[in-house]
Chain A
Amino acid sequence: MRILVILSFLASILNAQQFTISGYLSSKESGEKLIGASVFDEQSKLGTVSNTYGFFSLTIPKGRVNLRFSYVGYESKLFVFENAKDTAINIEMEEALNLKEVEVSAERIERIEQESQMSIVNMPVEQIKALPALLGEVDVLKAVQMLPGVQSGTEGGSGIYVRGGGPDQNLILLDGTPVYNVSHLFGFFSVFNADAINNIKLIKGGFPARYGGRLSSVMEINMKEGNMKKIRGEGSIGAIASKLTLEGPIIKDKSSFIVSARRTYIDILAQPLIRAASSGGEDVSTGYYFYDLNAKLNYKFSDRDRIYLSAYMGDDKFYYKMRPYSYLYDGVLYEEKNDAHLAWGNITSAFRWNHQFSNKLFSNLTATYSHYDFNVRNYQETIQTSDTGVLRNIMGVEYLSGIDDWAVKLDFDYLPSPNHYVKFGAHYTYHTFKPGATSYQLEVTGVTNIDSTSGADNVHAHEMALYVEDDWKLSDRFKANIGLHLSGFQVENTFYAMPQPRISLRYLMWGDWALKGSYANMQQYIHLLTNGGVGLPTDLWVPVTQNIKPQKSDQIALGIAKTLNNRYLFSIEGYYKWMDGLIEYKDGASFLGSETKWYDKVESGKGTSYGVEIFVHKKTGRTQGWVGYTLSFTDRHFDNLNFGKSFPYKYDRRHDLSFVFTQKIDSLWDFSMTWVYGTGNALTLPIERYLGLPNNDGYGYIYPTEIEHYDEKNSFRMASYHRLDVGFKNAKKTKWGERTWSFGVYNAYNRQNPFYYYFGYDRNNNRALKRVSLFPFLPSVSWGFKF
């Protein structure tokens, strides 16, 4: 640490005629830190942006400065002063409420051409919350799915597939903690409650060196910190769920909290109907619910030190419970109990300590815990009491899988001069994989007593990484982000290590059109065994082994970008990605129904993905939204699948188009609309049937055999997917705050989008391929409040 301080000191000597202005940027209304806000000196034309904790540092020459602070949705601030010494300055910015289109220049426009990096999208949470939503439940991941280069899975699902990658190749970080399963209700909703979220950033390529461990994307989701000024509340009551968020100061301007909770109540509403429908006297309780809870505390010791403690907890549960009941039969009293459930959930928590060593050196120490588990249980018990004694029969089966991570990260931001923004650090994670164990309990009084567990044992692994990167301004036109990520993974007696170079370049051409290019090498040491695209909680996280190698990718991208007319962020990018070490289930393998170890059920192979993405994004003004288009080609090649021939990836989607539009009509009404179109997913279906070799059944009978012939893997295309959603919001100030009525229509023109296909029979008893669609025209209404 001492070395860093000395380095910082030496740098300041070398820049003797320069002084550093540093500090924090936050919202005046809530005290919430502003991430990625721009700090720009109009005199020297030098600038920087605030980091994840709102910290900025800008070293500029001695003399007069015109320092402008700006951030999307906030009124910009200009400070004019003489730069004659190092200055610490904390800026509170005011929200730009009800800005008219012509006044938009007062807001800060994110200038895409200024960034050295490409393939990054920052999504304002308020923009996401303005969109129409399935059953009125705003979903962060569903909004992300509408970005170019990101594909959704099946109808309604919140899984994301980025540039031909699988769902396991996305590093989704909630306050720096990885979240392993982001699905509620089989993926129809994600685990992220938009009310508790401050900021979302998605990176699809050109990954900075500070990120590692996944091939296809990084999604950073930062929770709100809690209002430092006053107690605020926000909530809503919808058709399937309600939520409530409370935030406020513990000690004004020093410490704050936020707590946000959400729960569905389908089970509660349906309970009377279920009871009425159950017959035979059993008292049956069955249903489904999910809930999630976000909480965060922070405490500011000084301008140099601040700590955060954040946590997330969420569960999904399908349950069936028959309350104990008894009956008398033939002189024997029978008492019966039955309990079954399918449940999964995440717990994440993070402790962070921000420390500012100097006005040029900022550090963040993070300790995190992430837990995901899935279990299915069925338990039946019968007790027979008679004159001869008591006989107890128990039969229980439980399947468990999951993953636990303990991690510590130390990250530094070092800003020696306006031309360099250096980040470096070290990460360590201790993984415990629980890749599927089945326990059986069988007990019959006096006869049998079995209590055993089978399946794979827990596997412990150590993952570590070192990184350094520099966002380097080589000239006014040429900027580069160059870095190296060095990672290692120790599992059992095997150690994998890999240096992963990363580079992003930007050259400002004529008319401030930015030409951008990037190369990123990524390595991933964990795999997700997945059976289908329905966001099943049965998906299994497993580590690399001696035989199952890490996943690797090399991605290159080239594109142009410019902020048009001071309003529209425009970009076109082409990319090509090579992937190796991908795993898929062997033909016929399944997660259940076998005692085979997971690594004997998989095949390793390769994949490629390439395409072009066009994106126009407007984040400010009364009219906001985006248009995104992706043309892409994705395939897989496994020596032992599809008889060694390449086949399209399940989510190979030739065309993907999204149109997102929000309009502030007046002070009361907002209108929003989204339309999405995507080529149908690839699917493997039989096309013919024929006779195979006759079979002997083992008892002397010879049977003709009939085979269903599947053509090439994933050779059938589902129907294309398209959907229009429309929403209106009416917000009105009241004595106590604000109330909002939200009206929405999901699938406004009632398109029957495919969810899955199967072979059945038509009315004339002819065999037919049937398509099942889930969500028809679906209106929703919810009532929200803020105080």
Chain B
Amino acid sequence: MLLIHCPYCEEERPELEFRHAGEAHVARPVEITAESDEAFEGYFFIRANPRGIAYERWRHIHGCGRFFNAVRDTVSDRFFATYKAGRKKPDAAKFAGAATGGKDKR
């Protein structure tokens, strides 16, 4: 089970209190009816699904109830940072040294 730091509650809580809410920083189009099929597909269905550093949304559903964002290595499942919704996404280069970089260390 993951241990996740909620940036609102400012403490680490077990994963059971949280709900994973998909890729972060996917902006909903302002004029969604004006989107082309291709653009809508990109917004709605296409996902980065990276092997390595991922930006993702979590919701502290059994806690404060709020959405926040996280940076996690999807190979080691280690969290590098969690930050409040609306904040700018941290630069991946900051974590590149610590990440497994998409390479297994098995």
**Chains A and B are bound partners:** no
A residues with CB within 8 A of B = none
B residues with CB within 8 A of A = none
